[in-house]
Amino acid sequence: MASPPRARVRFAPSPTGYLHVGGARTALFNWLFAKHIGGDFLLRIEDTDQTRYDEKALVELVADLKWLGLNWVEGPEVGGPHAPYFQSQRLPLYQEHARKLVDGGHAYPCFCTTERLDQLRETQKRNNLPTSYDRLCRNIPAEAARQRVAAGEKHTVRLKVPFHGDTVFKDFLRGTITYQNRILDDLVLLKTDLFPTYHLANVVDDHYMEITHVLRGDEWIPSTPRHVLLYQAFGWEPPTFVHLPVILGPDGGKLSKRKGAASVGDYRNLGYLPETLINFLALLGWNPGGDEEYMERDRLVEVFSLEKINPKSAVFDEKKLEWLNGQYFLRRDVDYFFPLVKPLWVATGVDGNAFPESYFRTAIGLLKDRSKRLPDFITYGMYFFREPDTYDEKAARKYFGPGSETLLQNLHDSVAALPHFQTADLEALYKETAEKLAVKGGDLIHPTRLAISGIPFGPGLFELMMALGKDTVLRRLNAAAQAVRSGQIRTAVTV
């Protein structure tokens, strides 16, 4: 028995917009499958729509895939034995194949205008009839058609779909799917502008690029019988089809920018890590069969399998994504975060040179375990670089009430008098003071935290004081005492 051919899969996006998470998931499954079985993952750009083509979308698409770490062995930038990988650069190939089909009697030129087609469709719709091309030009004698084409008359090329019988194919996840040929119409293969439609280009390329498994969105299921018919007309063996379920928004509808985030870029901007997105997307419609959820890239590659893909569409749950991101924050170290987070602070106005690198690192170390997204470092960590100009409203009401002025002043004085500004000494000081005043430690700790950070939560107080340094702590304690004294406490609601 001959050994099966090397598995080859591809992600074939159309550069007409941003990379949607659904598209990213499709790319991911292709990539995981290839990596898992030691096959090839290629990237092919399906830029056959002249009107919707968007250069910027293409650049972003490639950047997003790279950011996710979904590297391809053949495709744009890396080339390969089947180059070019842009369909717009392969036009002669499609035209030649369209001609071949016409010559072989599998396709025919169609001279119908868009207007006629629109009108036809409208009439059919109005009469509650299925919309489909009425095959008018299929009746034109071959010779007459050839002459009109030769004369330069504008036309498309349509596939001759059989009038009777069924077209059957197997979807890897759903089993046998049957379509009656009579409900399939004669699809356009080559457009008036001589560009191929998706159907032609896709089938031709998948064949010549030796694609063995087509993993794509399940919106392609209804087109698959037409593709199968095309494979048959060419006398080619179709690949294995694996139609992936769609990803839905929280409302069960399409995931859209209007309702929040939808693209890979959106989630990157929200402060999610690429590994989080990879892990999360992998779990949307697939699982290893057990309870494992936190899986690094290598682990996913190791356990991924087509069989465990769930054909049911899944809702994108951002809450769970956030939780997962937090799990990654817990496990990644300061070195990992430093280059990601420092620029964020700098972008908000922090002078990157005014603080030593070690200070940034200390702040990151103190903040990362309680953060869930990158912007949390800003939201809950600005006080490392700036005096708190406001105090959390609720906390201020609780800790900066009448009489707290004396307490803050006492705290300031005793910290100032401390011979060694060390975590242990600070802790001992607060314990002593609490006993002396006959109050709980928290009654001292919370006002202090609020005074030095402006917010009622964050790292352990003594570590935080150490990180900020004695001068800063004293200055802020003093400022808070003054604010209380003057009755001018500026507050803000912390998000």
Partner RNA sequence: GGUGUGUUCGUCUAGUGGUUAGGACGCUGCCCUCUCACGGCGGAAGCAGGGGUUCAACUCCCCUACGCACUACCA
252 Rama sector, left if φ>0, alpha if ψ -120 to 50, beta otherwise = left
- In one-letter notation, the amino acid at residue 467 is A
Whether the CB-CB separation of 31 and 66 falls below 8 Å is answered with no
CB of 353 to RNA, least distance (A): 29
Among 337, 385, 400, 462, binds RNA (CB under 7 A): 462
CB of 116 to RNA, least distance (A): 8
Strand partners, 166: 180
Between 7 and 200, name the residue whose CB sits nearer to RNA: 200
Among 88, 132, 181, 410, binds RNA (CB under 7 A): 132
Q: Per CB under 7 A, does 88 bind RNA?
A: no
Between 299 and 485, name the residue whose CB sits nearer to RNA: 299
Measured CA to CA, the distance from residue 323 to residue 336 in angstroms comes to 19
CB of 65 to RNA, least distance (A): 16
Contacts with RNA, 316-355, as mask; x by CB under 7 A? -x-xx-xx--xx--x-------------------------
66 noted as active-site residue: no
Q: Which residue has the tokens 């800790």?
A: 399
Contacts with RNA, 267-306, as mask; x by CB under 7 A? ----------------xxxxx-xxx-x-------------
Between 322 and 425, name the residue whose CB sits nearer to RNA: 322
Measured CA to CA, the distance from residue 472 to residue 465 in angstroms comes to 9
CB of 174 to RNA, least distance (A): 4
Q: Per CB under 7 A, does 373 bind RNA?
A: no
| # chain residues binding RNA, by CB under 7 A | 86
10 Å CB burial of residue 191 (0-12, 13-18, 19+) is middle
- Please name which of 48, 50, 459, 18 lies closest in space to residue 262, comparing C-alpha atoms: 18
Q: Per CB under 7 A, does 494 bind RNA?
A: no
- Of 63-71, 337-345, 411-419, 438-446, the segment contacting RNA by CB under 7 A is 438-446
Binding positions for RNA, 232-251, rule CB under 7 A: 246, 248
Between 51 and 488, name the residue whose CB sits nearer to RNA: 51
Among 3, 128, 353, 358, binds RNA (CB under 7 A): 128
- Pairing type for strands 166-171 and 175-180 reads antiparallel
Contacts of 270 (CB under 8 A, 6+ apart): 261, 373, 375
Q: Per CB under 7 A, does 434 bind RNA?
A: no
Q: Per CB under 7 A, does 142 bind RNA?
A: no
Binding positions for RNA, 11-40, rule CB under 7 A: 12-14, 16
| Catalytic-labelled residue, pool 56, 100, 154, 257 | 257
Q: Which residue has the tokens 């399939």?
A: 184
Contacts with RNA, 35-74, as mask; x by CB under 7 A? -----------x-xx-xx----------------------
Between 121 and 485, name the residue whose CB sits nearer to RNA: 121
- Pairing type for strands 156-159 and 188-190 reads antiparallel
Whether the CB-CB separation of 100 and 58 falls below 8 Å is answered with no
Tokens of 146: 């050839």
Q: Per CB under 7 A, does 95 bind RNA?
A: no
Between 194 and 347, name the residue whose CB sits nearer to RNA: 194
Binding positions for RNA, 185-204, rule CB under 7 A: 188, 191-193, 195, 197-198
CB of 111 to RNA, least distance (A): 8
Catalytic residue set: 257
